[in-house]
Homo-oligomer: A and B are copies of this chain.
Amino acid sequence: MSELLDKSDKRTKYCGEFTANDIGKKVCVMGWCQKQRDLGSLIFIDLRDRSGIIQLAFDENTPKEVYDKAFRTRSEYVICAKGTVRARGEAAVNKNMPTGEIEIAVEEYKILSSSLTPPFAITENSDVKPELRLKHRYLDLRRPDMQKRIMARSRLAKITRDYFEENGFIEIETPNLVKPTPEGARDYLVPSRVHPGSFYALPQSPQLYKQLLMLSGFDRYIQIARCYRDEDLRADRQPEFTQIDEEMSFVTQEDVIAINEGFLKRVFKEFLGKDIQTPLPRLTYAEAMERFGSDKPDLRFGYELVNLTETLRSTGFKVFADAIQSGGSVRAIKIDGGAKFSRKEIDSFAEFVKTYKAKGLAWYKFAEDSTFSSSYAKFLDESENKAVLEKMNAVPGDLILIVADSKDQIVFDALGALRREIAFKTGVIKSGDYKMLWVTEFPLLEYDEEDKRFYAKHHPFTMPMEEDLQYLDTAPEKVRAIAYDIVINGTEAGGGSVRIHVPEIQQKMFSVLGMQKEEYEEKFGFLLDAYKYGAPPHAGLAFGFDRLVSLLLEIDDIRDVIAFPKVQNASELMTGAPAPTDSKALSELGIAVVREE
């Protein structure tokens, strides 16, 4: 049976905090048994807490009752030990351990809890199946690497709040039980007990509330906010996720960018000890697509896109010619040293671009000995081949990869993804290298071929660029938004926009989105009303907090920076959520489960 703590059991400090300065002191430590070693007449126990490990020593001078308990102690038993700090014998010093010079000669000892043998060892970088880790998350979180990550996340939250508070931002909590959004296909719904048949939604973001807070005159708002999205989970998505949510009044895009560059500067300095240079580079959306085939370009390496359309405009090679003649393009990337890739690897690249709807991948391998092999060279005439090599600045050792399509977007998507895919293979990306930029001037709208209508690319409250307002009626596809993303190492870490604060522009925006007056009045009436009572110009931004933590810690799986994450199918393996509930609870809510046969 477990022993209980009493008031006199006061921990001196954490295990990892003892040093040679403590030698001779009577101390009390508490923690978990990392390892017990029984050497016959000696027992050693490594005692672990969140700070590290200290060695407990038991020998012939230890009271028998204490020695017997140490003898019985197994991994993960919870211990309270009192004793005297002493130097280890010279031979026993462990230089790999911060407390490796010392140990505690134990005089009093309580087993506060015993433990079954855990299903996996509580050690760093243990190679355990993710499902097992998540099922026993309370044990997984004991592992030192997980401890560090969760503590780092806490530190980042603190740095964030401190920075924004110093800059006059007010933390305001917005509701989590909100009105379902009209097209909220991805809303989590919450049935109301008081109003049967009515539902709350969990917010996909505090967007509307933070805009209303600007109308309320709070001027600068910050919230580390939980958001919810009910959709198929990708590797970096969770049904509930956290964002650093900001909004500012009486500002332009430049003010939002400046505040957030200051924030990133602070984070990189305090969190990683790195100085970053501001202002950060910027690319317009158009430039980013043209050069990197992506609106979240990874600047840690080159492999930029080159437009070969003009170079090959009069080619007889049908694959290229067709793409060009139907208004598309031929573009290429050059992989420095890429000639070392095998045919098999190049074939796998061709497979890769098909997932982005590219019909194929043309390639040219320029070997170190200046010979070449190519999938397309035989279809071009000599001058065309030469022109391509020149345009690409190709030198021996390079690999040229070409995509042609009648749709520019497919060319961009395929090559944009491919350059990053290959970069991870060539090792051109170095750990600890951070490349950030702003992408600006996003298109305001996206045309959906299927629905035959425009959708807002960011959201319907995004302000068009002033110089493009003129096209809103006549050529909406040309209108650029005052919207900006912050991209770190090829990942969108955050994004935002200047909002529409002028009711007339908002109404026009709704019209462009195909809504009649009655429709948008019904859907957004309270918001449109609010804007009639004096709205300040305002703009904001949100960082994906989980994503920012994982970027800073260079962790691929976002679940490793969340204490209790859900898996791909949105369930939590430890508790088994979600779960069926009893029909009484449902009938009180006025709903029933409908089973499809």
Interface residues in chain A, defined as those with a beta carbon under 8 Å from any beta carbon in chain B: 1-2, 4-7, 9, 11, 14, 30-33, 48-50, 76-78, 80, 112-116, 118, 136-139, 141-142, 147, 150-151, 153-154, 157-158, 161, 165, 170-180, 184-185, 187-202, 208-209, 212-213, 215-219, 226, 228, 230, 232, 239-240, 242, 249-252, 254, 466, 501-502, 504, 526, 530-537, 562-564, 566, 569-572, 574-581, 585-596
Contacts of A240 in B (CB 8 A): 175-177
Q: Are A577 and B189 in contact (CB under 8 A)?
A: no
Q: Apart from A137-B216, A178-B575, A179-B579, what 16 extra A-B contacts exist at CB < 8 Å? A: A76-B534, A113-B531, A115-B533, A136-B530, A141-B217, A172-B563, A175-B572, A176-B226, A176-B240, A179-B572, A188-B200, A195-B569, A196-B596, A198-B578, A526-B575, A591-B594
Q: Are B173 and A242 in contact (CB under 8 A)?
A: yes
CB nearest neighbor in B for A215: B138
Contacts of A213 in B (CB 8 A): 138, 141, 563
How distant is the Cα of A216 from the Cα of B217 in the complex, in angstroms? Answer: 43
Interface centre among A6, A187, A208, A213 (most CB of B within 10 A): A213
Chain A contact residues, majority secondary structure: loop
Q: How far in angstroms is the closest Cβ of chain B from A528?
A: 12
Q: Which of B78, B179, B536, B590 contacts A536 (CB 8 A)?
A: B78
Q: How far in angstroms is the closest Cβ of chain B from A116?
A: 5
Q: Which of B138, B194, B534 contacts A216 (CB 8 A)?
A: B138
Q: Which of B177, B532, B577 contacts A188 (CB 8 A)?
A: B177
Given A250-B80, A534-B77, A578-B179, A50–B217 Cβ distance below 8 Å?
Answer: yes
Q: Are A590 and B585 in contact (CB under 8 A)?
A: no
Interface centre among A504, A535, A595, A596 (most CB of B within 10 A): A535
How distant is the Cα of A80 from the Cα of B251 in the complex, in angstroms? Answer: 11
CB nearest neighbor in B for A531: B113
Q: Are A504 and B1 in contact (CB under 8 A)?
A: yes
16 contacts between A and B (CB under 8 A): A11-B250, A32-B534, A113-B501, A136-B530, A138-B530, A150-B218, A179-B572, A180-B585, A187-B585, A189-B585, A189-B589, A192-B570, A195-B578, A199-B580, A199-B581, A208-B575
